[in-house]
Amino acid sequence: MKRPKIALIGGGAAILSAAYHLSSDFEVTIYEKGKRLGRKFLVAGKGGFNLSNELDGADLVEKYAPKDQMQPFLLAFGSDDTREWLKKIGIPTFVGSSGRIFPEKGLKPAAVLKAILDALEKKGVIIKTNHEFIGWSADESLLFTVDNEQVKIKADTAVFSLGGGSWSKTGANDKWLKIFSDAGVETVPFQPSNCGLNVNWEESFRTSHQGSPLKNISISFAGKTFKGEALITTYGLEGNIIYPLSAMWRAHHLEKGNTVYIDFKPNNTHEELLAKLGPEAAPKKYKSRLNLSKPVLELVKWSLSKEDYINSHRFIAQIKHFPLSIESMRNVEEAISTTGGIPFRALSPTLELHSKPANYIIGEMVNWDAPTGGFLLQGCFSMGYIVAKELNKKHEGLLRADI
Ligand SMILES: Cc1cc2nc3c(=O)[nH]c(=O)nc-3n(C[C@H](O)[C@H](O)[C@H](O)COP(=O)(O)OP(=O)(O)OC[C@H]3O[C@@H](n4cnc5c(N)ncnc54)[C@H](O)[C@@H]3O)c2cc1C
């Protein structure tokens, strides 16, 4: 029997997982428009490479939206499976104190990518760079631009992972949305996720405090509270609690309003803070007795009338429940990830397009969301695995039918 041809289109995290997990019974070719594979994968490695997260099973699923649709992929290939896979190809990992999974110390992102590519080479996966997918021909062949020429490629099955809309220098952009919608596939516009938030700071505050951290704070919005650190930037706020907050804000600000509430002292109650101030605390003691940073003191002072500022009860109430109006989210280009793309309703449970059978969609192309901390790559790896498993199963079924 002739080896069925599988075209994997887009050289990102999800495709690398699919390529690895596909049976060697297939002739597998990765087509990537750029000169190299895994450019966003390498960017992800720059600020602490979270390959996955120690959460597994139901706890892992909890981190994703929509949960129901992501669940089968994450349960079939979870964080333990990712670690096992990476270990097999020579990339041992460890769990950091935050629960994030990193490659063993000393292993740079480029080494992780190289180990995956070496494993693919051993499996006989063909890699064709400089191939930009531009659509389908009338006979459902895949059309690419290669050195300004149009090339037609016939494959038995195509798996796409052309990425989300952010960080266009890594190759991901929104061009494919039009290609797919022109071909009759439902698409949803990209929106930023895991991104900074715009705040209309006073000019003097912006200049004095950009780059200052707001440590040990919590921010609440729409019934959720995020505890950790944020960073004051020229445009607003960034940082590890701002990313998950951005997703909540995107989902609920139209109904709940733009204001988020900061607790600058989440580890102390109102009464404890009052006790720290002492019975006759003058405002000039606020900073030292409550251990407040300069930007926090400034923010709170500006937000209160003089009368309220000198009243320690009202001052503390403002420290514990500081309203901050968010103007908007940062744009898609800057976001760590995006939502939008192809909705699950356009896909079968194993991610095949209803409107174009034998074409599968994985990774950030699909409309799902997860916070940072290793969950994005894990989602991509799990989707790559599930499609590979499905195609392996279909092929085995055909072989058995042949006997
Ligand atoms: C700054 C940053 C830090 C991050 N850090 C982490 C982290 O620590 N942990 C984590 O879990 N996640 C992290 N992420 C997110 C993670 O990198 C992505 O979710 C993941 O790489 C998405 O993989 P993908 O396969 O969906 O798409 P991508 O990796 O974006 O791959 C898509 C590929 O398709 C190619 N392509 C696009 N159009 C075409 C076309 N028409 N024809 C052919 N090829 C095409 C692109 O060139 C690209 O190579 C980070 C992201 C960013 C931006």
Domain ranges within the chain, ordered by starting residue? 5-192+333-402, 197-329
Q: What is the pLDDT of residue 137?
A: 97
282 pLDDT above the threshold of 90: no
Q: Which tokens sit at 305?
A: 């009338």
The pLDDT of 295-312, averaged and rounded, is 96
The pLDDT of 193-221, averaged and rounded, is 97
Secondary structure in 3-state letters for the chain: CCCCEEEEECCCHHHHHHHHHCCCCCEEEEECCCCCCCHHHHHHCCCCCCCEECCCHHHHHCCCECHHHHHHHHHHCCHHHHHHHHHHCCCCEEECCCCEEEECCCCCHHHHHHHHHHHHHHHCCEEECCCEEEEECCCCCEEEEECCEEEEECCCEEEECCCCCCCHHHCCCCHHHHHHHHCCCCCEEEEEECCCEECCCCHHHHHHHCCCEEEEEEEEECCEEEEEEEEECCCEEECCCHHHHHHHHHHHHHHHCCEEEEECCCCCCHHHHHHHHCCCCCHHHHHHHHCCCHHHHHHHHHHCCHHHHCCHHHHHHHHHCEEEECCEECCHHHCCEEEEEECHHHECCCCEECCCCCEEECHHHECCECCCCCHHHHHHHHHHHHHHHHHHHHHHHHHHHHC
Ligand 1 atom nearest 16 alpha carbon: 25
CA 132 / ligand 1 centre spacing (Å): 16
398 pLDDT above the threshold of 90: no
Q: In Å, what is the CA distance from 134 to each residue of 150, 151, 156, 175, 333?
A: 9, 10, 18, 9, 22
pLDDT band at 2 (very low <50, low <70, confident <90, very high): confident
Cα separation of 177 and 163, whole Å?
11
The pLDDT of 235-257, averaged and rounded, is 95
Residue 364 in contact with ligand 1 by CB distance below 6 A:
yes
Q: What is the pLDDT of residue 262?
A: 98
Q: What is the pLDDT of residue 340?
A: 97
Ligand 1 atom nearest 161 alpha carbon: 25
Q: What is the pLDDT of residue 372?
A: 93
Cα separation of 42 and 170, whole Å?
9
CA 366 / ligand 1 centre spacing (Å): 12
The pLDDT of 27-44, averaged and rounded, is 96
> Using CA positions, which residue lies closest to atom 8 of ligand 1?
50
- Domain 5-192+333-402, classified CATH 2.60.120.10, yes or no: no
pLDDT band at 396 (very low <50, low <70, confident <90, very high): confident
403 pLDDT above the threshold of 70: no
Q: Which of 47-56, 75-84, 288-297 has the lowest mean pLDDT?
A: 47-56
Given a contact cutoff of 8 angstroms between Cβ atoms, the answer to whether 380 and 17 are in contact is: yes
Ligand 1 pocket mutation, candidates 240, 377, 383, criterion most atoms within 8 A of CB: 377
14 pLDDT above the threshold of 90: yes
Ligand 1 pocket mutation, candidates 17, 31, 35, 40, criterion most atoms within 8 A of CB: 40
- The pLDDT tens digits for 90-106 are 999 999 989 999 999 88
pLDDT band at 48 (very low <50, low <70, confident <90, very high): confident
Given a contact cutoff of 8 angstroms between Cβ atoms, the answer to whether 191 and 340 are in contact is: yes
Average pLDDT, the chain: 96
pLDDT band at 402 (very low <50, low <70, confident <90, very high): low
Q: What percent of the chain has pLDDT over 90?
A: 93
- The pLDDT tens digits for 353-372 are 999 999 999 999 999 999 99
Q: What is the pLDDT of residue 341?
A: 98
CA 150 / ligand 1 centre spacing (Å): 25
